[in-house]
A and B are shown apart, each in its own frame.
Chain A
Amino acid sequence: MTQATTSPSWERLRDPSFWADWTAAVALVLLIIGFSIASPVFLTLGNIQALLLAAAILVVLTIGQTYVILTGGIDLSVASILTLGSVVLGQAYSRGWGIGVACLLAIVTGTLVGLINGLVIAKGKITDFIVTLGSLSAASGAALVLSNGRPVQIADPFLLRLATGRLGPIGYFVILAAIVAIIAHFVLFHSRFGTHLLATGGDTEAARAMGINTDRIKITAYIISGCLAGIAGVLLTARVGAAEPASNTSFLLNSVAAVVLGGVSLFGGRGTVIGPVVGALLLTALVNGLTLLAVSQFYQPLAVGIVVVLAALLMRYQQ
């Protein structure tokens, strides 16, 4: 007879992929313990606030990357879209179009690049890797063209408040990132779209046989990624106080790294939102801790690379 009543939460604890999802969380806890022993400053409220603030932009970017990777694709253009969004914001603002319009334009630009990515990948049947590599280059090129290669200072009270304001002890950035994460989680696990996204990534043929429009799902994932990269562009502009056309390659690497750390299968179809968010926190904490310990900046990318490859290895063992 069918036994349908076993509690799902207990069931999940025995599933090895459940533990793979939590690799990042375990690593984060270990890292926090290690750093707090090594540096008394690490666990202070001020440092935690700074850490979360620094993580917020990466979290937003990572969530978009997560959706794309869940479909079995990859978005290499997120960091360039972020830069382009920031430049669009700066250009619109310096032309006196107002901060609201400028921010909106930045997000719309990101969304459009995402739409183009998705259309070319799904309808043009070209590999995601090549398409988004192309738009990585095209978007950073467009940012340079638009700005003439020059940064624009933006001293806007709204952006300043966004970057420095807080609700109680929690900064607006952090609240925004948390809202994005919560919505992304609910969409993934409590909406039809989320199930179809996982199905499309897990087995495109099966999803199509069940009547799911897999092209539409893939396009939507790239749109979401582009839109979130645009939002991240606004956040970065607020944080830096300027729109800079210089590329932000570490954001690209870190967003993919956070997704891998978060236990999302690079083949698509399996993963969570929480995992990559924790992955992004882990990477930020790593950099933050190393800085506190006065380790040279040059070692940070090295450390990030080692952690990511180790996490990937660990996950292979668990499955």
Chain B
Amino acid sequence: MSFNEPIHRSENHRAENEAGNGSSHPDSIPPPFTDDDFLPSEAVRSIPAQPDRANVLLYIDQVSKWFGNVHAITDITIWANRGEITAIVGDNGAGKSTLIKCISGVHGPTAGQVFLDGKPVHFTSPEDARRAGIETVYQTLALCNDLTIWQNLFLNREMVNHWGPLSFLDQRAMRRRSAEMLSRLEVNIPSINARVRRLSGGQRQAVAISRAAGWGSRLVIMDEPTAALGVRETARVEELILRLRDDGLAVLLISHNFDQVMRLSNQIWVMRSGRLVGGRRTQDTSGKELVSMITGAQQEEAL
């Protein structure tokens, strides 16, 4: 398998692994953020570097999410640094989306703890997470086609003028701020008054990313931001992602595109069947190694 290729489905691997997993789930939430937690747990094999305390923004400690009998993720311990792009890779159904939903407040974890800036956080809704500075660019983008670009950028965060007990939208201020948000990331958009329906896939992605980046956010999570894009649009979106990193944000990137992950990321976490199979600094690994980690080929060779 060449490392430029997207990862293919391997349902049978998943099925095999699921049978043996899940019995070692801890009953209690582990103590917060001690040095011990930084040591690789048994699920985290082969992690070369310890987290660097000064730079870690997000630390996920032995997080599990089970839906009834479905063990979507079990005992995941990963972290993401400020000013870095952290990639999560894995086959379809590996649990990547479930993991980021536990971070962005969509799901409450079944067990485990999320730390932001060293402090434990419990989000009950995506709104909660947004307030704490965690923005998510969903796979579906969550843009309203019939609203304008600026309305989407300010959706549920509208600026208003108060007239006594009444409040009216401050459209002028929102338009101005929208233009700033887009120009900060040098996004190419015909007009902020255009409806999102009229935008191309890449422009939509750019609007969604600008929205995520524009609210004083510290962590931006992106679930397959270029999956539906052509070559040129992918390149533009990748530039945007790099710009977020250069702005000092922590970026958590889910991607099926190895080539992209190897080019953009600083750190890579590999998941398989709801478990973490390893983490690497990007410069210490290769597409070939990632493929074998994702598919479990390494294990099979060893057997």
Interface residue ranges, A against B (CB under 8 Å)? 1-4, 6, 8, 11, 15, 17, 186, 189-192, 195-196, 198-199, 202-203, 205-207, 209-212, 265, 269-270
A195 touches B151 (CB 8 A): yes
Please tell me if B195 contacts chain A, counting CB pairs below 8 Å: yes
In the docked arrangement, what's the CA distance between A2 and B190, Å? 7
Looking at the assembled complex, report how far the CB atom of B11 sits from the nearest CB atom of chain A, in whole angstroms.
Answer: 27
Say yes or no: A209-B151 contact (C-beta < 8 A), given A2-B192, A192-B169: no
Per a CB cutoff under 8 Å, which of A3, A17, A198, A211 touches B156? A211
In the docked arrangement, what's the CA distance between A186 and B151, Å? 16
Looking at the assembled complex, report how far the CB atom of A84 sits from the nearest CB atom of chain B, in whole angstroms.
Answer: 31
A195 touches B193 (CB 8 A): no
- Residues of chain A lying within 8 A (CB to CB) of residue B144: 198-199, 202-203, 206-207, 269
In the docked arrangement, what's the CA distance between A11 and B195, Å? 10
In the docked arrangement, what's the CA distance between A196 and B145, Å? 13
User: A2-B179, A3-B191, A11-B191 are known contacts; what are 10 more A-B pairs with Cβ within 8 Å?
Assistant: A1-B186, A4-B182, A6-B191, A6-B193, A190-B171, A199-B147, A203-B145, A206-B140, A207-B144, A210-B142
In the docked arrangement, what's the CA distance between A94 and B140, Å? 58
- Residues of chain A lying within 8 A (CB to CB) of residue B168: 186, 190-191
B193 touches A199 (CB 8 A): no
| Residue with the highest number of chain A CB atoms closer than 10 Å, among B141, B156, B182 | B156
In the docked arrangement, what's the CA distance between A205 and B176, Å? 27
- Residues of chain B lying within 8 A (CB to CB) of residue A212: 155-156
Say yes or no: A206-B169 contact (C-beta < 8 A), given A211-B126, A211-B156: no
Please tell me if B143 contacts chain A, counting CB pairs below 8 Å: yes
A195 touches B138 (CB 8 A): no
In the docked arrangement, what's the CA distance between A95 and B21, Å? 74
- Residues of chain B lying within 8 A (CB to CB) of residue A195: 147, 151, 155, 158, 169
Main secondary structure on B side of the interface with A: loop
Say yes or no: A207-B182 contact (C-beta < 8 A), given A195-B169, A202-B147: no
A211 touches B130 (CB 8 A): yes
In the docked arrangement, what's the CA distance between A27 and B291, Å? 63
Please tell me if B183 contacts chain A, counting CB pairs below 8 Å: yes
B143 touches A3 (CB 8 A): no
In the docked arrangement, what's the CA distance between A210 and B207, Å? 14
Nearest first, the 6 closest Cβ-Cβ pairs linking A and B are A4-B179, A211-B127, A209-B142, A206-B142, A202-B146, A270-B146
B140 touches A1 (CB 8 A): no
In the docked arrangement, what's the CA distance between A17 and B192, Å? 17
In the docked arrangement, what's the CA distance between A265 and B145, Å? 13
Per a CB cutoff under 8 Å, which of A8, A11, A202 touches B145? A202
B169 touches A205 (CB 8 A): no
- Residues of chain B lying within 8 A (CB to CB) of residue A186: 168
In the docked arrangement, what's the CA distance between A203 and B138, Å? 14
Looking at the assembled complex, report how far the CB atom of B52 sits from the nearest CB atom of chain A, in whole angstroms.
Answer: 33
Please tell me if B175 contacts chain A, counting CB pairs below 8 Å: yes
Please tell me if B56 contacts chain A, counting CB pairs below 8 Å: no
A4 touches B155 (CB 8 A): no
- Residues of chain B lying within 8 A (CB to CB) of residue A8: 193
In the docked arrangement, what's the CA distance between A96 and B158, Å? 48
For this complex, 27 residue pairs linking A to B, each with C-beta atoms less than 8 Å apart, are A1-B183, A1-B188, A2-B183, A2-B188, A3-B189, A4-B182, A6-B193, A11-B194, A17-B146, A190-B168, A190-B171, A191-B167, A191-B168, A192-B169, A195-B151, A195-B155, A195-B169, A196-B156, A199-B147, A199-B156, A202-B144, A206-B140, A207-B144, A209-B126, A209-B138, A265-B146, A269-B145
Looking at the assembled complex, report how far the CB atom of A263 sits from the nearest CB atom of chain B, in whole angstroms.
Answer: 12
Please tell me if B160 contacts chain A, counting CB pairs below 8 Å: yes
Within 8 A of A (CB), among B117-146: 125-127, 130, 138, 140-146
Looking at the assembled complex, report how far the CB atom of A193 sits from the nearest CB atom of chain B, in whole angstroms.
Answer: 10
- Residues of chain A lying within 8 A (CB to CB) of residue B167: 191-192
A4 touches B151 (CB 8 A): no
In the docked arrangement, what's the CA distance between A199 and B156, Å? 10
In the docked arrangement, what's the CA distance between A8 and B149, Å? 12
Looking at the assembled complex, report how far the CB atom of B272 sits from the nearest CB atom of chain A, in whole angstroms.
Answer: 28
In the docked arrangement, what's the CA distance between A186 and B163, Å? 14
Please tell me if B81 contacts chain A, counting CB pairs below 8 Å: no
Looking at the assembled complex, report how far the CB atom of B137 sits from the nearest CB atom of chain A, in whole angstroms.
Answer: 10
B169 touches A190 (CB 8 A): yes
Looking at the assembled complex, report how far the CB atom of B194 sits from the nearest CB atom of chain A, in whole angstroms.
Answer: 7
- Residues of chain A lying within 8 A (CB to CB) of residue B199: none
